[in-house]
Structure formats: structure tokens, C-alpha cells
Amino acid sequence: MRQQQLPVGRSAPSVLGCPAVARRTTIGHVLTSLHVGGAERVALMLAQQQVKDGHRVVVLSYDAPSVAGALATEFERAGVAVHRIKKHANIDWSLPWRSARALSRVNIDVVHTHNDLPLVYMAAPARLLRRRLVHTTHGQHRGSRRQLWLRRAAARLVHRYVAVSQATAEYALSLGEVSPHKLEVILNGTDLKRFRPDAAARARLRQRWGLSADARVVGTVGRLAQVKNQPLLIKALAPLLKNGACDALLLVGGGPQRAALITLAKQLGVANEVRFIGE
């Protein structure tokens, strides 16, 4: 049964579950890692804007300090301090305690967790330390019964639960993961200026990837993984080439399915028209 349509995108203060304040707030984004990914990119864009708005912003990441993470430099360039809390095992019972110490040390006012692992490990420490807690779920993932139970327990502690789409919100409700009164739908924003380069930059990029000035190009950005279903795009390319609707397909991103996608493009006879850009 379809759930009731939820309101989309109220103002930031209401999302935090507290009235607007003039004072400078310290906001902490909690991520599984600093590798390139959709949730990580959203956190980066939020952090950049929050810094511009005059807030102090930090990132807490559960990957090891020895793991560079492609986005660490971008966060630091934006004036966001990066703190690592290494996760030692598949289930790390010490991580909530170490997360609590990190929250106290960095003195965060608002904790914003992204996806399952940060929610499960950070929810209790944040509430015990009386921090405001916002969670964003960036996709639909049921997991095992134990994982679902942990997410439900952790989600009870959040002040606001944000879903990036109506479908994601309805999925979370169907699992009993969140109460409707805590749930908001806020669609991911895109800075369109980034996709309108000047003529010289556009020409350089087209030359780099062997594209003529008037070539019609379809592009997608995402991890090369089964859940992203890039094979669908590659299979759709052949008829588009035949009717002249498209001249090339650009796949931006890396991942475990890269070799299989290259093989598929060869099998379908479109290998010359598919460009694998990488990360």
C-alpha cells in the first residue's frame, strides 16, 4: 500500500529539529569512508555551503587514518576538519565509545549521520551527549534481520530522519525504520553551473575523449556496481546509435563491474562508443 505523500524540502532549521539561531553552530557529518560516492558527495556539498553560511563544520569518518580517501583533500580545502575513527572489525563494539570521545573532543552541536553504519554507531553517543541528531538515508537497503533491528533501534534516537527521494522514504516507512513525524524528503540538489564549462574547457574535454564538437553524448556518474545498472545504458546505446540520437556514452566512476561492462560493450559492438572515464 502506497504511503501518504511526504513534504519535500523544508528549511534547514526545521530539518535540524530546532529553531533558527544566529550563533555559530558546529556541525559534524559522519561517514563510513571518504571515498568517492553519492552520500559522500552530498555531505561535501552540504559542508561547503554550511562553511559559507558561517558554521564550523567537521567530518568524522570510520575508515583508517592510513586510507587517504579521495574526498579528504576536498573537505580540507573547503575548511572542513577531517577526523578518523578507525573501525577495527566487522562488528566493533568499541566504536560507540570511541565515537562518543570524538564528539566530546571536537565539541559538535549537531551530528549528521549518512547511511547505515554511521547511524548505528553514532546514534547512542550523540543522544547520550545531548547532541542534536539528523540522519540521511541515501538509498534502499534492507540488510539482514540483525542489521534492520539495529537500524530501527538507532533511528528511534534521531531528531530528524531525511530521505533523498519519496521512494526511499516510503521504503523506510515500510520497514518500520522511522516514525512518519520524524521523516522529511529532501531531494539532492545539483549545481548546474558545474556542467556548463566555458567553450575552451568544453573543447579540451571533447578532444581528450575523442569526441567531435557536435557529437551527442549521454553521460552518467556513479559507482560501477550492480545496483547502479549501467548495463541497461550500454544495451540502450546500440539502437540510439542506429537512429542517430546519440554518438557516445560516457561512464564516470570506478568499481567492481568495470571489467564486466567493458566485456558487455565489446559483445554488443559498441566498445568504440563507450568511454570509461574513471573516478
Q: Are 249 and 217 in contact (CB under 8 A)?
A: yes
Reported as a single tens digit per residue, the pLDDT across 68-93 is 677 888 999 999 999 988 887 777 78
Q: CA-CA distance, 175 to 197, in Å (whole number)?
A: 43
Other C-beta atoms closer than 10 Å to the C-beta of 4 total 7
- The per-residue pLDDT of the chain, averaged, comes to 85
Reported as a single tens digit per residue, the pLDDT across 180-235 is 999 999 998 877 887 777 888 888 988 988 888 889 999 888 888 888 899 999 99
pLDDT at 6 over 70: no
**What pLDDT does 125 receive?**
94
**What integer is the mean pLDDT of 243-262?**
90
What CATH number does the domain located at 197-278 have?
A: 3.40.50.2000
| Confidence class for position 65, pLDDT limits 50, 70, 90 | low
Q: Which residues have CB under 8 Å from 277's CB, separation 6+?
A: 209, 250, 251, 252, 253
Cell numbers found for residue 40: 559522500
Q: Are 256 and 224 in contact (CB under 8 A)?
A: yes
Domain locations along the chain: 12-185, 197-278
Q: Name which residue leads in pLDDT, 167 or 63.
A: 167
Q: CA-CA distance, 87 to 71, in Å (whole number)?
A: 18
The pTM of this model reads 0.76
Return the amino acid letter for 38: G
Options 3.40.50.11540, 3.40.50.2000, 1.10.10.10, 3.40.50.720; CATH of 12-185: 3.40.50.2000
Reported as a single tens digit per residue, the pLDDT across 83-131 is 988 887 777 788 888 999 999 898 899 999 999 999 999 999 999 999 9
Which residue reads 572515464 in cell numbers? 277
User: What are the residues facing 133 on neighbouring strands?
Assistant: 111
DSSP string, 203-259: HHHHHHTT--TT--EEEEES--SGGG-HHHHHHHHHHHHHTTS-SEEEEEB--TTHH
**What integer is the mean pLDDT of 163-184?**
92
Q: Do domains 12-185 and 197-278 have the same CATH topology?
A: yes
Q: Are 250 and 217 in contact (CB under 8 A)?
A: yes
Task: Work out the percent of the chain whose per-residue pLDDT is above 70.
Answer: 89
Cell numbers found for residue 256: 567492481
User: What are the residues facing 132 on neighbouring strands?
Assistant: 110
**What pLDDT does 29 receive?**
97
Reported as a single tens digit per residue, the pLDDT across 21-36 is 456 899 999 998 888 8
